[in-house]
Structure 1
C-alpha cells in the first residue's frame, strides 16, 4: 500500500489559506474569470507550481456553446475565448483532453517530459511541450445534476507536479465547483433574460422589477416591423425552410437595431417591436439609420434567397414617437415585460398602412418633426388611422 504524500507544514498552511480565500473571500467578486486568475496566483504563492491553467465552461448561449478561461504565469487577468457550437467537429477538439473528459474520463494526466511518441497524440500537448511545460492534468468540474465542466493545470517544474501538489489541487475542486457554478448560473440567468427580453429590460428585472403592474413611463421612438405574405409562405414551404427564412429576416432587422442603440422587446410571429428611448441622444435619427441598414441587409438576404429559388421577402415598418408604459403586464404567474399605450398602437396602425399605400416605411408627423431636416422624407399625405379621431400626416422613408 502506497504511503500518503508527505506535506510540508508550511505548504499545508498555505494551501489552507488558498482554500479559505476561495471559500470565504470571493463573495464580492462577480466574474469567475477574475476569481480563477487570482486562484492561480495564490496557488503559486502557496508553492503549487502552476504555470498555465484553464477553465472550460458550457454556457449554451444562443450564439456559442461555452467559454474557455485561460491563465498563464505573469497574467493578472485571465483571457476569455468563446467556443462555437461546432467545436466538437474540429480537429483541435477531437482526441483532446476536453474530449476525453466530456466522454467520461475522471482525470487526464500527461507527462510532457517523456518521449512524445509514448504519450497521447494531440496538438495541444505539442504546443505545451514547445512552451517548456512538463506536466499536465485535467479534471471534470461537477456542477449540480452531474453537469460536467473542465479545469486544467500545467507546470514547467522539472519532474512535473508531485503528489502533494496534486493533492492540493484536488482539495480545491469541490469549492471551485461551487464558486464557479454560482457565477455561471448568474451569467446564464442574465444571458437568458437578455436573449428573451433585451438588455435594458433584463437589467430592470434582475434589479427586482418583477411585480405585475410595475413599470415606468418612457418617451421613445417606436418601430414595428411585419413580414408580408407570411401565412402563405408558412402554409406552402417546408417547416425547416420557414424557420431558416424567419431567422435570416430577423437577423437582417435585429442587428442594425441593436447596433444603433435600439432594443427589441419582442418578436411577434413574423413581426418585431423595438423602441429607441428618447433619453438617448439622436434616438430618432438612430432608428432611421437602423432602418436603412436593415433594408440593405434585406436586399442581400433576398439576393441570397433568389439563388436557392426562394421568393423575395417583403415587409412593412411603422414608426411613431410618444409616451409608452414600460413594464410588467400579464397574469399572476406569467408576465411579459413590454410597452403599451396609444403610441404603440399608432406604430402598429402605420405598419398596417404600408401595404395599403405601397410604402415600405411609414413615419408619423410626430416622428418626422425630429428628423425631417436631416433625412430625405417623402410626404405621403393625411390619412385616417383606425382608433384615432383625426387623420394623421404620414411620411415615407426610402433609406
Structure 2
C-alpha cells in the first residue's frame, strides 16, 4: 500500500492556490493516488463541496487495461483498483458514463436529485443516490497524442455543484492532466521494462545502466528450460493453438521461478533463461523448489491439454552455477540486458543432454554441491560436454 498523502493542513483560499500546489509542490510525490487524494482535500478547503471523485486511466500492461482511483469524503488515500481487458464487454461499462465519454462525449452531467425515472439508467447513479449524492460530472482528461482518460466529481450539496464550482474544477483539469501524465508515463516505463526484461534488470536500467558493454560479474545458479519436439508441434497445430500452448507452458514455468526469487532474463522461442543470484539466501534450494512447482504445474497443464486433444508438452531443464557477466550487450542502437559466460553455456549443454540421457532435469556437480544434503538427487555419471575439456559429473532431480 502506498504511503498516506502528505497533508500540510493549510487552508487554501482560491483555485490559484491549488494550481500552484499542483504545478510546484507535487514534484517529489511519486504516487498519483496520493496526489489525487490531496487534491480532493484541497478542493474541499477552497469551498468546492466534493464528496466523491474518481480518476480512470488506460495503461499498457500485459494483464490490465487500466486502473481506477476513487476517493470519498474522509478517506486519507484514494482506493486503487485494476481494470481488466474485458471491461468493455461488461454491462457495468456498456451502461456507464465512461462509455459515453469513450464514444466522444466531452461532458457527462447528471442531476441526482431528479426523479430516477427521468434520468439515464446508469447503475452508478443509483449507487450515488443511495449514498446521498446530488450531482455528478465526468470529463475526459486529455494527455498527449490524443490519449483520453477520465475524471469525475460528485457532491451531496443540495442543488448540486453551482456554476462557479464547475468553472473552478475545469480550471484544475489541464494541470491535473499534466501532473497525471508524468506519473502514468513513469509507471508505464517501469511496467514495460519489468514486463520485457524483468524486475531486477529494469531497476538497473532505470538507475542509468544503459551504456553498451557495462555490466557486473554475478555468481548465480543458472536454469535453462526448453520444450522438446516443439518444431513438430508448431508445424502441425494452428497458429493460435501454438501460441496458447506456449503461453500455458511459460506460465507453468515462470510463476514458480518468480515466486522463489528467480529472475527470467529472456524467452528464446520455446525456451527460457533464468538466474538465481547467490547473493540471495538459499538461492540454489529456491531454484529446485521452483523446478518442483513448475513440474507439478506442467502435469496439470498436460492433463488440461489432454482433455481437448492436445499433445502433452515435454521439456528439459539444465542447471549449473558459476560466475556470469550480467549487463548490456548488443549493437549501438539495440541492446539486450542478459548474462553470458561459460556457466551459461554449461547450463545450455546440460539442457541438451536431457534428451540424450532421458532425464527431465540435469544438474552439474558444481550445483549439486549446494543442495545434495537437502534434496534427493540421482547421480547419473560423468559425461563429456561439448565445448568443455573435462567430463562433467551430472545428477538428475525428480522432485
Settle same-fold status: TM greater than 0.5: yes
The aligned length equals 389
Equivalence for 1:309 = 309
Equivalence for 1:141 = 141
Equivalence for 2:61 = 61
Equivalence for 2:200 = 200
Distance 1:158 1:363 in 2: 73
User: What pairs up with 1:354-373 in 2 under 5 angstroms?
Assistant: 354-373=354-373
Give 3-state SS (helix, strand or coil) of 1:76's partner: coil
Distance 2:180 2:149 in 1: 10
Give 3-state SS (helix, strand or coil) of 2:91's partner: coil
Deviations 1:164-206 (CA, angstroms, capped at 9, x unpaired): 1100100000001111011101111100000000000000001
Distance 1:260 1:47 in 2: 51
When normalised by structure 1's length, the TM-score is: 0.96
Distance 1:95 1:246 in 2: 36
- Say whether the 8 Å CA contact 2:325–2:340 is kept in structure 1: yes
Equivalence for 1:276 = 276
Give 3-state SS (helix, strand or coil) of 1:286's partner: helix
Distance 1:201 1:111 in 2: 51
Q: Which stretches in structure 1 are left out of the alignment for 5+ residues?
A: 1-10
Note if 1:83 corresponds to 2:79: no
Distance 1:133 1:279 in 2: 55
Shift of 1:332: 0.6
Deviations 1:80-123 (CA, angstroms, capped at 9, x unpaired): 10000000111111120111111111000000111001111011
Note if 1:377 corresponds to 2:377: yes
Distance 2:85 2:272 in 1: 27
Shift of 1:12: 9.4
Distance 1:156 1:279 in 2: 56
Shift of 1:60: 2.4
Distance 2:120 2:153 in 1: 17
Deviations 1:120-171 (CA, angstroms, capped at 9, x unpaired): 1011110000011110000000001111000000111111111111001000
- Say whether the 8 Å CA contact 2:95–2:123 is kept in structure 1: no
Equivalence for 1:37 = 37
Give 3-state SS (helix, strand or coil) of 1:93's partner: helix
Distance 1:229 1:33 in 2: 48
User: What pairs up with 1:110-189 in 2 under 5 angstroms?
Assistant: 110-189=110-189
Give 3-state SS (helix, strand or coil) of 2:138's partner: strand
Distance 2:279 2:113 in 1: 61
Distance 2:397 2:101 in 1: 56
Instruction: Give the ranges of 4+ consecutive aligned residues of structure 1 lying more than 4 Å apart after TM superposition.
Output: none
Give 3-state SS (helix, strand or coil) of 2:273's partner: strand
Distance 1:71 1:261 in 2: 35
Distance 2:254 2:341 in 1: 23
Note if 1:52 corresponds to 2:52: yes
Equivalence for 1:3 = none
User: What pairs up with 1:303-342 in 2 under 5 angstroms?
Assistant: 303-342=303-342
Deviations 1:286-336 (CA, angstroms, capped at 9, x unpaired): 100100000010001100100111110000000001110000000111100
Q: Which stretches in structure 2 are left out of the alignment for 5+ residues?
A: 1-10
Equivalence for 2:344 = 344
Alpha-carbon RMSD: 1.0
Distance 1:320 1:369 in 2: 11
Equivalence for 1:6 = none
Equivalence for 1:8 = none
Note if 1:222 corresponds to 2:216: no
Equivalence for 1:24 = 24
Distance 2:36 2:236 in 1: 53
